[in-house]
Structure 1
Amino acid sequence: MRSTIAASLAMVLAATPAMAQLALPGAGDTLGQVNSRLDGLLEQGVNTTRKAVDGLTSARIDRLAELVRNNRQAIEFDAENQPARRGELLLEGADSAAIARAEQAGFVVIAREDFQDLGLAVVRLAVPPGAALAQAEKRLRKVLPGVTISSDQLYFASGNVAAGSMAAAPSVPGGTAASTMPVRIGVIDGAPGPSAQVAATQGFARGAPLASNHGSAVVSLLLHAGARDIAVADVYGNDPAGGNAFAIVRALGWLLTRKVRVVSISLVGPRNAVLAKAISAVQGRGMVVVAAVGNDGPAAPPSYPASYPGVIAVTAVDGRNRALIEAGRALHLDYAAPGADMLAANAAGQWKAVRGTSFATPLVAARAARAVADRGAKWLLALDGEARDLGRKGPDPVFGRGLVCGSCRRTK
């Protein structure tokens, strides 16, 4: 499936990390063509090769470099060579003496925020004037050994919504009345369009809430799967550095105050020490976190937040229940769900072709919410009971513990 497929996948994947921020053209227009091409190659039995896996990895590196190059005023690479908000670092749990030492070293406090429900206190620091983020981060770690320090790394949508024409379908269901699932579900993404009525939407980025095709698609799939009480945290807006770790932490804190029981996160990025603490905190308060493994291929670095302990990591299958070749990986894998050969609603309320692990994630989140509503603390056993074993017998690194919500795919 590989070297030839890699070229085709580039059309799908080229915009993936940046689409919510840069709206790079081209990927959506070719989505249907790519699906057909992949199907044809798979039918021909084309052998997988390492070359294509390397191609996916190279495409990811190129996309991140382009993202930073096109947004130099807002984004730069950190000490781990990951895109992050330019000129800012995050401290968690630093006492006044530690903050004073940072200030003596030339760092400036931008803001302090206590997340009482999360048990976290985060300080945003501006790096010294003229200092590169990567070098400033290394310097601060020497100044404050033992303190939790991270850059404000970026997280990216893990799927694409097709452009082009398609007849509009009826508006997706919405509203807060007559819920078929008495558990509130949270979404961390872009905001949905007006046709997808949700219980609450809150912005955590410049210009947010701002309707996006990706966020709309995720919400429409939740609604299609029976969810009604949905709270959406928009971490993108129109901010070039949207989708950052601090925005996601703030979103998690807000969702906790909204009594969200299950949160769907179709975003991927690197391990981040501050975000890891926030994820652990909401889990400790009973929130189930469901996250996508991304679309950068099996050779990509493990995706987060899917790789954090206890997070439900989700991959995707096509219309024939074959694992998507571009599906990424996490340190563990829990379930697969439909993520291609299906439709979801864009910001205008039109049902369009979608592809990616992004769109499998809300389906699993919806089923997890149903399991929480029906079985309480034994929700995971209920979800395992629903999962249909695919691939080799038993749990495996391709499909996890099986296919969930297999009948949830909308094709017309």
Structure 2
Amino acid sequence: MKPDPAPSRRACRRVAAVVLLAAALPGHAQLGLPSLPSVPSVPNLPAPRLPPPAQVVPQLQRTPVPVADLVRVREQRIAEMLRQRSDLLEPDPAGQPLVRGELVLSSPSDTLLAAARGDGFTVVRERTLDALDMRLVTLRAPVGWKTARALQRLRQLDPQAAVDYNHLYLESGETAPLPQVSVARGAPAEAVKTTGAFKVGLIDAGVETDHPLLANASIRAWGCGGRKIPTAHGTAVASLLVGRGQHFRAAAPSATLYAADVYCADPIGGSIEAVAAALAWLIDEQVRVVNISLVGPANRTLQQVVQRAAARGVLLVAAVGNDGPAAAPLYPAAYPEVVAVTAVDARSRVLPEACRGPHVAFAAPGSEMAVAGFGAAPYASARGTSFASPLVAGVLAAAMRESGDASAKTVVAALARQAFDLGDPGRDAVYGHGLVARELRSDLTRLDANAR
């Protein structure tokens, strides 16, 4: 079934030279899943229905930004990080950020560690993650060695070892504040703070739990030694999962959100170690669906973390990223165990900056999105695949709850059958199985009208 009105397939595939930016800058995110077998429908998933396209509020439009500028956002951020913290960070051979001089090993053998110490490597951190049945060991390269040489040496010592750089995975989107739009007066009917009926996980930056859209949500936080270090990105993504407000629609407002902060205002935040520890905590808390709006390069240690989580029945959902249609796949989204989500605009057209590839599983709203603001602005406008991913994660978390003991593959396959096919017939590298969660796009027009 196609949306009505639907863009032509030719228009869906065409990368526009200029896009309307309803947010300050785009997000970046990613994850993927292979073709799924036909299985019975999951109970209580919404019946296929496509409402009319959302209207863009004229007062909230932004100056058009060239696509080339949109796809360079992550590259520019990496360059700035490396410039400011060259004492701690460096690029890998592909330009991706990593912690200078550090290598992370997943459950290394005693033989490998002994040989590494003999070469002058030192152990700087070690952590046992029982939930993943994994021991992470971080080594520092010998004095005078470049990090690339150190990695090559460890792989020579044990070619099968899960050893790689201590890569950093970046927050995958930006938001633009909407100071002229206020949170609606009068609490919505469901705005009574209670324990959520089911669980959904988030690995991201810190969440402002006192925000009006989140104040009545059930949220459990992890990381930063108990300190609260909220951010715009983490707060925005959290609001799309469990936010509550008049004229605002989240994917799973009745869920308890388990939010892991892997940044904590640390210059080496978002590392492999932090992501792995966060996922182990979520597994311990029996969270079955986890959203990850972070992106970065392929990494052997990350791959093992993802595989072990999936083997324990955890469904990982992530954004495909905003590095452009010609970019290489981003991770963890591109691992086959992950559900990769791309983003569409209010007319159901893929964002021209969104990554493409066979790993794309679903498309969801990801531009002109109303999200929880940060600081003085109650609302923000968001654009990017980062903000499509939590919508799919929330829908799948609700489906897992309704279907009892259904497997991750079962609920994903059921959602795939209910998706609205866009682009080429069947699953494709642009839209995956098709568009889902379109009814969850919060209407900026109604929000703006409330402010006047």
Q: 1:97 Cα shift? A: 2.1
- Decide whether the 8 Å contact of 1:388 with 1:404 is kept in 2: yes
Q: 1:131 Cα shift? A: 2.7
- Number of the residue aligned with 1:372: 400
CA distance in 2, matches of 1:126, 1:6: 45
- Number of the residue aligned with 2:230: 211
Q: How does 1:3-402 map to 2 (within 5 A)?
A: 5=18, 12-13=25-26, 34=62, 37=64, 60-163=74-177, 165-170=179-184, 177=194, 179=196, 182-193=197-208, 194-195=210-211, 196=214, 197-203=217-223, 209-223=228-242, 224-227=250-253, 228-348=255-375, 350-375=378-403, 376-377=406-407, 378-402=410-434
Q: Which amino acid aligns with 2:123?
A: V
Q: TM-score, normalised by structure 2?
A: 0.77
Task: Give the SS at the match of 2:135.
Answer: strand
Deviations 1:217-252 (A, max 9, x none): 011001122332110010111111211111101111
Q: Which amino acid aligns with 2:314?
A: M
Q: Which amino acid aligns with 1:184?
A: K
- Decide whether the 8 Å contact of 1:79 with 1:137 is kept in 2: no
Deviations 1:264-295 (A, max 9, x none): 01111111111111111111111110000011
- Decide whether the 8 Å contact of 1:192 with 1:347 is kept in 2: no
Deviations 1:116-140 (A, max 9, x none): 2112111011112233322222233
Q: Which amino acid aligns with 1:216?
A: T
- Decide whether the 8 Å contact of 1:176 with 1:229 is kept in 2: no
Q: 1:169 Cα shift? A: 1.1
CA distance in 2, matches of 1:395, 1:177: 39
What 5-or-longer segments of structure 1 have no aligned partner? 18-30, 42-51
Q: TM-score, normalised by structure 1?
A: 0.84
Higher relative contact order (CA 8 A, sep 6+): 2
Task: Give the SS at the match of 2:279.
Answer: helix
Could you say if the C-alpha distance between residues 153 and 317 of structure 1 is closer, same or farther in structure 2, counting changes exceeding 3 Å?
same
Q: Decide which moves more: 352-361 or 95-104.
A: 95-104
Q: How many residues end up aligned between the 2 structures?
A: 381
- Decide whether the 8 Å contact of 1:88 with 1:127 is kept in 2: yes
CA distance in 2, matches of 1:371, 1:185: 11
Please report the RMSD computed on the Cα atoms of aligned residues, expressed in angstroms: 2.9
CA distance in 1, matches of 2:60, 2:100: 36
Task: Give the SS at the match of 1:139.
Answer: helix
- Decide whether the 8 Å contact of 2:364 with 2:438 is kept in 1: yes
Q: 1:111 Cα shift? A: 1.9
Higher-helix-fraction structure: 1
CA distance in 2, matches of 1:71, 1:174: 43
Q: 1:396 Cα shift? A: 1.5
Q: Which amino acid aligns with 1:318?
A: D
Q: 1:257 Cα shift? A: 0.4
- Decide whether the 8 Å contact of 2:167 with 2:272 is kept in 1: yes
Structure 1 vs Structure 2: percent identity of aligned residues? Answer: 37
CA distance in 2, matches of 1:264, 1:242: 18
CA distance in 2, matches of 1:199, 1:257: 16
CA distance in 1, matches of 2:144, 2:16: 43
